[in-house]
A and B are shown apart, each in its own frame.
Chain A
Amino acid sequence: MPLNWKTGGLLLGLVFFAAVLLVKPIGVSTQFVILDGIVADAVNPDLVTKTDEGYSSTNTYLAESGGKYAKSVANPLNYSFVFVIAMMAGGLLSALARGGIPVDDRWVPALWRVNFGDCRVKRSVAAFLGGFIVLYGARLAGGCTSGHMMSGMMQTALSGYIFAAGAFAAAIPVSLMLFRKEV
């Protein structure tokens, strides 16, 4: 059972506050680009190059903003990348401490099962397609649920409100269409 929303919301708010107090607001989706860059640079070492001013790339997106992303690709041991690795460790430990994800839920989550059956392939394809659209959209928007919606709205950023409006305008109708049966 998830935490009561009052406790959960307070804890989540404290984490977002701690991040901006000690370092900077939380964001995640950029790290998908960084990991892509790390892999692509390993295959083709010409992708990211060191210049006199810093780093640059043959990819326009990585070279953007003075090679900010190119620099992270060249130095994976940076705050934001390590942050995401640490999230995974924290999520794993927390899940283990509450007995792990139920076996039935590991491939096909309960609500999906009720609506679309327990075919693993069908669920995996949907998750893959969803992942593609989510990250393409997040990069187009310049952030995701963490960076834009949570961190952005918390800072009263106009962009955060625009993002949240778009995200819920699509997510609610799609979810209403897909998930008609309740667990």
Chain B
Amino acid sequence: MTTILLAIVIGAAFGAVLDRVGASNPSYINTMLNLTNLNLAKTILLAIGTGSVLMFGGQMLGLVDVGHMSVKTAYLGVFLGGLLLGAGWALSGYCPGTGVVAAASGRKDALFFIAGGLLGAAAYMVSYPAWKASGLLDKIAGGKVTLGTVPSAKYEGLTALPGDILGIVLGLGFVALAFALPKRLMGQPAQTQPAE
């Protein structure tokens, strides 16, 4: 029961924050992806950095259970799937999490995104054996690995570097990148058209 309560509290907080940072607004996603407004990219970088520093810092102080980490397998399909997700993300302006938040908050086009998503997930379930047979799902570089070796974690390290310290350093790197990134990378701010 406690876990269900946590699901409700953390889930609701996540949904609310996604709405507030603009991540469930397709226009805001695409002004990030077409590099004209990088505010959301700065938000994401700062979030990853903050989460990383707190998690690894907490582990070093013994306040965060290392066993709560959940590292996914690395395989070539991760890159391929990433490419597909990226293309659909730009086309629709939604990713799975922001799509459900957008639909709930009253965006009708997000309902079509979810319908397409359910069909896409079903198509994958059906085609899974073919992917499995292709070898693209075979693990690479050790599979479930972290960049450094995290003390007492159940995952291997890609390198022997101390994973917790590396996590804090990379986390601070993400924070620094969030500050360093310019507000826009492409083109010039829209000019006001002279009156006809």
Give residues in A with beta carbon < 8 Å to B.
Answer: 2-3, 5-6, 8-26, 28-29, 31-33, 35-37, 40, 59-62, 64, 77, 79-80, 82-96, 98, 100-101, 105-112, 120, 123-172, 174-176, 178-180, 182-183
Find chain B residues with CB under 8 A from A111 CB: 26-27, 30-31, 93
B109 → A minimal CB distance (Å): 4
Total residues of chain B contacting the partner, CB 8 A? 130
Complex Cα spacing A159 to B46, Å: 20
CB within 8 Å for A138 and B96 given contacts A127-B110, A132-B117: yes
- What residue in chain A is nearest B81 (Cβ atoms)? A141
Q: Is the CB of B88 within 8 A of A133?
A: yes
Q: Is the CB of A92 within 8 A of B104?
A: yes
From B12, B94, B142, B174, give the contact of A127 (CB < 8 A).
Answer: B94
* Chain A interface main SS type: helix
Complex Cα spacing A107 to B84, Å: 24
B47 → A minimal CB distance (Å): 4
Find chain B residues with CB under 8 A from A180 CB: 34
Q: Is the CB of B55 within 8 A of A101?
A: no
- What residue in chain A is nearest B58 (Cβ atoms)? A21
Q: Is the CB of A23 within 8 A of B83?
A: no
- What residue in chain B is nearest A77 (Cβ atoms)? B4
* Chain B interface main SS type: helix
Find chain A residues with CB under 8 A from B20 CB: 2-3, 8, 11, 94, 98
Give residues in B with beta carbon < 8 Å to A.
Answer: 3-4, 6-22, 24-28, 30-31, 33-36, 39-40, 42-52, 54-55, 58, 63-65, 68-75, 77-110, 112-126, 128-129, 131-132, 141-142, 144-148, 150, 158, 163, 166-167, 170-171, 174, 178, 186-187, 189-190
CB within 8 Å for A10 and B104 given contacts A22-B6, A23-B68: no
Find chain A residues with CB under 8 A from B145 CB: 157-158
B185 → A minimal CB distance (Å): 10
Find chain A residues with CB under 8 A from B51 CB: 13-14, 16-17, 20, 150, 154
B141 → A minimal CB distance (Å): 6
Q: Is the CB of B166 within 8 A of A61?
A: no
Find chain A residues with CB under 8 A from B52 CB: 153-156
From B58, B113, B122, give the contact of A130 (CB < 8 A).
Answer: B113
Q: Is the CB of A137 within 8 A of B79?
A: no
Complex Cα spacing A138 to B31, Å: 22
Find chain A residues with CB under 8 A from B109 CB: 107-109, 120, 123-124, 127
A135 → B minimal CB distance (Å): 4
Q: Is the CB of B82 within 8 A of A84?
A: no
Complex Cα spacing A140 to B14, Å: 24
CB within 8 Å for A9 and B3 given contacts A131-B112, A178-B91: no
Question: Could you list 4 further interchain pairs (A-B, Cβ under 8 angstroms) beyond the known A90-B13, A169-B83?
Answer: A61-B128, A125-B112, A132-B120, A134-B94
From A29, A40, A128, A151, give the contact of B116 (CB < 8 A).
Answer: A128
Q: Is the CB of A94 within 8 A of B105?
A: yes
